[in-house]
Structure 1
Amino acid sequence: MMPSSAVLPDGVNQEALLTELRRLSWGAADILRAYARGEQPPHGFPKALSVDDGGEGPVSAADLAVNKWLLDGLSSSFDDADWTLLSEETAKEQLTEGEPLPAEWLWILDPLDGTKDFLQGTGEYAVHLALVRGRRPVLGVVLLPEADELWIGIVGEGAWCEDRQGERSPVRFSDRTAVSDLILVASRSHRDDRLVKLIDALELGGSKAVGSVGYKVATILRGETDLYVSLSGKSAPKDWDMAAPEAVLLAAGGRFTHSDQADLTYNTGDVRQAGCLIASHGKAHAELGERATRAMAEIDPGFQV
């Protein structure tokens, strides 16, 4: 792959960046898998202490370790790069409500997407790394440590999956195009009455319950499912939940928008990704959006999709 000035800041070589992202991703996988199993993590990180023993527990320990691993790695490998690093763990220190970060290029990282799945041992957790230019993602990495899958997407160039040996597999969207045949990937938790009504109104072909957002989007990329719907309520997903999965899905030719087809935007001064959001393989995206927007007008009048 040739370096792309449209995708990366000046002076950053695309192949060198991908090589480092692979190293950081598989290192993060080793760290998370060790914490998930109660084993000694690599790269000098301490073994997790339970809350009862005065520690913060495996989730916090894993979160913090992977956060440091990713931030230190990107900072040291590309110390001259004209980008800013933001993660879920550093957001409180870095962000001021209503004020975007003064950065044209911004990494948005989630060291552990799917903490419940990590704790419950489902294996359906992920690591997200997204490079955003302006308010839109241009490159994304979604790592599934337990599945041994590293999804990489470069918007405008393509997306693929790699294993630890670097063997590539292509994106395999399903051939399903009729809305009545489409398979929804949904959460096991975070479901409310409005979402149940919305899903019923879409009149889909079936559903599958899966954990983290990154893992959900991977099921679309594999062709196991066709769409994911996020409906905000008292809480909403954040930039770091959506940026990397969106980048990979976009690079693969899919769509990830509000139901009215408006783009998701990042680094706006509000990290909440509120509204009715639809990720799909793109083959019936407009119709899905129309159905969802129409349904939400009845389910929750005045709701901003």
Structure 2
Amino acid sequence: MMPSAPTLPAGVSQESLLQALRPLCWGAADILRAYARGEQPPHGFAKALSVDHGGEGPVSAADLAVNQWLLDGLQNAFPSAGWTLLSEETAKEQLTEGVPLAAEWLWILDPLDGTKDFLQGTGEYAVHLALVHQQRPVVGVVLLPEAEELWFGVVGDGTWCENREAVRSEVRFSDRLALSDLTLVASRSHRDQRLEQLIEALQLGGSKAVGSVGCKVATILRGETDLYVSLSGKSAPKDWDMAAPEAVLLAAGGAFTHADGRALLYNTGDVRQAGCLIASHGKAHTSLCEQSAEAMALIDPGFPV
């Protein structure tokens, strides 16, 4: 059953929110693509200085520019909305360890997810925006600048992809059900021995390496792959890595949980999303979780899934 969404904050309609997000997202895409190519970015942002010339390089410049563009844009579009804005770039100033933000409605932003891929030129980087209500995501936006895909997910109303002309294409989950047929989408860089052992234990049908969590989840939404596994402890992904990808997957009817079935929670006072997290098209999710939990009990008995 598709989860139902609470109403948006007072004075904010779904249509007004989408109308504001579209130009903000495509503007962010243009900014990132310019920095990725060493070109002059639009909207008045300065060209990146190289580290040799006293700058921090294109990643930091792009991060900060898109962060400012999105935060200013949301604030200007909805000056009286009753929400708080949090991004990866502002987290150090805003957050106190162990203390959740006093926010019923919270935007969680990642202006550039997939920095290694951004630098390496693979094109597999993304922008994440998620609106969280009482620790659970209700709206998610995953922007893939190089693919020119803008994924919107509204929990209770579905998920779709738009191009720059706002022409929609629908989610196309695969029909694969048996674990031996499922295709895993995995990281190129964040893989350790435990994850390799877990993948081997699940005996899946194949795997595909893709950067950025947003890009990974998009492959599930397109039907190219079926599941993604995150397995980590202290160096775990953060709220801004997972909230928007979870929202678009959840709104599409997929699932994104801990291996023991627990929901991911946001704004808990700990931004780390640690444990064995499984994202999937939902059709074999229970079996995936059960077998993953059993396998992890043998691979690393003390690991909290």
TM-score category of the 2 structures, normalised to the smaller one: over 0.9
Partner residue of 1:280? 280
- 1:203 Cα deviation from its structure 2 partner: 0.8
Q: Distance in 2 between the 1:79 and 1:5 partners?
A: 23
Matched to 2:183, the amino acid is I
Q: Counterpart in 2 of 1:69?
A: 69
CA-CA distance at 1:180 after TM superposition: 0.6
Q: What amino acid is the match of 1:186?
A: A
Please show how residues 13-162 of structure 1 align to structure 2 within 5 Å.
13-162=13-162
In the TM superposition, residue 232 of structure 1 has moved relative to its aligned partner by 0.5
Q: 2-side partners of 1:97 and 1:296: how far apart?
A: 28
Equivalent residues of 1:219, 1:225 under 8 A apart: yes
- Superposition pairs for residues 109-258 of structure 1, below 5 Å? 109-258=109-258
Runs of 4+ in 1 over 3 A off after TM superposition: none
Residue identity matched to 1:198: L
Letter of the structure 1 residue corresponding to residue 172 of structure 2? R
CA distance in 2, matches of 1:246, 1:191: 20
Would the aligned equivalents of 1:7 and 1:138 in 2 still touch at CA under 8 Å? no
Change in 2 beyond 3 A, CA 1:161/1:98: same
CA deviation after TM superposition for structure 1 residue 234, in Å: 4.0
**Equivalent position SS for 1:146:** coil
CA distance in 2, matches of 1:185, 1:168: 24
- Counterpart CA distance in 2 for 1:233 and 1:203 is 24
Q: Structure 2: how far apart are the matches of 1:233 and 1:80? A: 38
How well do the aligned residues superpose, as a CA RMSD in angstroms?
A: 0.9
Give the TM-score taking structure 2 as reference length: 0.98
CA displacement at 1:55 relative to structure 2 = 0.4
Q: Percent identity?
A: 80
**Counterpart position of 1:268:** 268
> Letter of the aligned partner of 2:283 in structure 1?
K
Residue 159 of structure 1 aligns to a residue whose secondary structure is strand
- Contact 2:198–2:292 (CA under 8 A) maintained in structure 1: yes
Tell me how far apart the structure 2 counterparts of residues 146 and 69 of structure 1 sit (CA, whole Å).
18
Aligned: 1:304 with 2:282: no
Counterpart contact for 1:7–1:139, Cα < 8 Å: no
Identify unmatched segments of 5+ residues in structure 2: none
